Structure 1
Amino acid sequence: MFYLFHGDDEYRRSLELATMKSKLGDQSAIDLNTTELSGSDLTLDQLIFACDSVPFLSDKRLVIVHGLAARLGRRKEAAEEEEDGEDVFLERLEDYLSNLPETARLVFVENRAIGKGNPIRKMVSAYDHGYEHEFVPLKGFQLSKWISQRVEEEGGKIDRDAVQLLANYVGNDLRLLDQEVGKLLTYVGQGRSISRDDVERLVSYVREASIFDLVDAVGTRNTKLALQLMEKLIDDGNHPLYILHMITRQIRILLQTRELKDKQTEPGDISALLGLHPYVVKKALAQTPNFAVTQLEELLHRLLDVDVAIKTGQMEPVLALELFLTEAGR
């Protein structure tokens, strides 16, 4: 059998692969009977060798190939002689898949959704022993349901508004959500349901989201809301210098993100280049239309002046922040 696992939901895709590996036996059997290959420079002989190898202490071998479908999908953009080589590869691959050994479980894995015209996807559809699973990120009710079920699986309980807050601010990154659920369950212990207050107190992305909202208010010239958010952050125990630092960090992220976006850089590449979590980049990209590059540069200069004024004792921290937010909203 052979499979195509594709789509943006890395967490559920990894769980499915882990389930397939577990069926091979214990860890030693898994190690002996699992081969992972990069499709970027894979030859058909390498693939055949891996799939034809006889399983050891198991009745199946698992061969996982990363990125081959994407590579073959780009073949039309290649030079003519390279295209001919890929066409030969495809012909031989199709012949081999029709006679794939019963002992082999071959999985083509892609980090993004693959179009219906992709040759690997076409092969999966053409054979009875081919299977496709697109891992589409969960949204809305499905995402909320997943959070609730994950908490229940771990023996906990969670309030509905806490579920909604997690979904809104952490998003559909299930791996990150799983980590945050674990922290929350450890924090509340047994017998108590996770509340909205617990999420606001413990989940780092929720705390950071308050900074996103504050910067949003600056970008839309909503000074009243910006000041209210600042007061809430202070009431929650955040030091004014911490708030200043987080605003500066966010403005700098916005400037860097805006510059890369203007160069047509993909969100995933922006995340890698800046060393930021995809959630942070997603929020920044949503904010960039509110700011011109010159405005972001000016805000950074003002923030530096505020930092110096506070640290040299020229201004009281809360007053300095209030003045900055008031001037930035003009």
Structure 2
Amino acid sequence: MNLQEALKQVRQQNFSSVYLIQGTENYLAELFKSELMKQLIQTEDDQFNYSSFDMEEVPLSLAIEEAETIPFFGDHRLVFIEHPYFLTAERKNNGIEHDINGLLSYLDQPSPTTILVVIAAFEKLDERKKITKALKKSATVIDINPMGEKEVRQYIEQTIQSEGYEIRPDAFQQLLYLTDLNLSKIMGELQKLYLYAAQEKVITLDAVKELVPKSLEHNVFDLTNDVLSGNSEKAMQLYEDLILQGEETIKLNAILLNQIRLFLQTKILAKLGYQQANIAETLKIHPYRVKLALQQVRRFELERLEIIYDELVENDYKMKTGRMNKELLFELFILKLSGEMVR
């Protein structure tokens, strides 16, 4: 079942005895949890009917015992099971030994007055396990894996419109870029933007630039673009700003090295005929990062990227062995590369 249909049923007070929320999009999981609590936990007495159990900290048997307890002055008991790593192939050292048989028995005959919600924030579950098969068979399964770029864009546009706001196209693009198309991050940043634009109800590019912070990776991505575009002045200014913010030159060189590695991998796979989705799957990274990389690497020959990569590897060695002043070495690299790019 998709999330929207599940939310609709919850709002209509049509509850399932057991839910399995599976996927890594935390915002969507929190949205479903909040709606359940809104519908079921409305008074002080209702608070006694709500429990949440972290499987990394407490035994599963406690959650099952709670689920089997009748509600206190209410119609339903709401029980959340978080981090159920026993549904995956993951093995935890010194992890809690959970009594899976207790959950299996419960699933055979769930309490009619309890709503049990298992939140499996994992990319995939171990489908070979008996408990996974039983849970998927008994529960209403809600898929909350990350949306594709098109779905995220549509969701955010509809959300902004429903709040009575408008966002400029350039501001929208910058927001997606700075949040790496991560729905949870976007929704968090939108709350600040709503407050900032409360009077005009229009979210501008200046507002996004002022309120949405740049991660170190984004700054290095911009530094990479400045260097590869031959803009040495802008690249040097950004590098100096990062140093003033307390960043280490060795760390910046390493992130830049990773960025060029991504460009190389993307370029090679694209030449082999891989599409954006295939590249993302092969490299195990978000498709939006691949999209940005593909836009950049079209301008450069593979051989040139290989030379840049080798230079960064050599610089990393020189910095870590103290063969040359690391700040000077990095600055010379920026000036040399920028000069070559404008020829």
Alignment TM class, shorter chain as reference: 0.5 to 0.7
Find out whether 1:213 has 2:222 as its counterpart. Answer: yes
Q: 1:192 to 1:106 in 2, by over 3 A?
A: closer
Find out whether 1:58 has 2:74 as its counterpart. Answer: yes
Q: 1:13 to 1:257 in 2, by over 3 A?
A: farther
Q: Does structure 2 retain, via aligned residues, the 8 Å contact 1:255–1:296?
A: yes
Find out whether 1:123 has 2:134 as its counterpart. Answer: yes
Which of 291, 311, 334 is the matching residue for 1:325?
334
Within 5 Å, give how 1:25-64 maps onto structure 2: 25-26=41-42, 28-40=44-56, 42-43=58-59, 45-64=61-80
Find out whether 1:107 has 2:123 as its counterpart. Answer: no
Tell me the alpha carbon deviations over residues 242-291 of structure 1, each in whole angstroms, 9 at most, x when there is no partner.
254469557516638989xxxxxxxxxxxxxxxxxx99xx89xx8xx947
Which of 67, 73, 80 is the matching residue for 2:88?
73
**TM-score normalised by length of structure 2:** 0.64
Q: Which residue of 2 aligns with 1:180?
A: 189
Q: Once the two structures are aligned, what percentage of the paired residues are identical?
A: 20
Q: Give the distance between the partners of 1:117 and 1:30, measured in 2 at CA.
A: 38
Q: Give the distance between the partners of 1:257 and 1:40, measured in 2 at CA.
A: 36
Which of 210, 228, 235 is the matching residue for 1:230?
235
Q: Give the distance between the partners of 2:334 and 2:252, measured in 1 at CA.
A: 18
Unaligned 5+ residue runs, structure 1? 260-277, 308-320
Unaligned 5+ residue runs, structure 2? 1-16, 259-284, 294-305
Deviation at 1:65, TM superposition (A): 1.2
Query: Aligned partner of 2:208: which letter?
Result: V
Deviation at 1:105, TM superposition (A): 0.9
Deviation at 1:11, TM superposition (A): 1.0
Q: Which residue of 1 aligns with 2:171?
A: 162
Which of 317, 327, 337 is the matching residue for 1:304?
327
Choose between structure 1 and 2: higher helix proportion. Answer: 1
Number of residue-to-residue matches in the alignment: 274
Q: 1:251 to 1:12 in 2, by over 3 A?
A: farther
Q: Give the distance between the partners of 1:134 and 1:42, measured in 2 at CA.
A: 26
Q: Give the distance between the partners of 1:245 and 1:303, measured in 2 at CA.
A: 15
Q: Which residue of 1 aligns with 2:35?
A: 19
Q: Does structure 1 retain, via aligned residues, the 8 Å contact 2:49–2:78?
A: yes
Q: Which residue of 1 aligns with 2:160?
A: 151
Which of 141, 153, 169 is the matching residue for 2:150?
141
Tell me the alpha carbon deviations over residues 194-220 of structure 1, each in whole angstroms, 9 at most, x when there is no partner.
2234323432128973542213554xx
Q: 1:164 to 1:207 in 2, by over 3 A?
A: farther
Q: 1:114 to 1:257 in 2, by over 3 A?
A: farther
What CA RMSD, in Å, does the superposition of the two structures yield over aligned residues?
A: 4.1
Deviation at 1:104, TM superposition (A): 0.9
Deviation at 1:106, TM superposition (A): 1.0
Deviation at 1:188, TM superposition (A): 3.0
Q: Does structure 2 retain, via aligned residues, the 8 Å contact 1:61–1:104?
A: yes
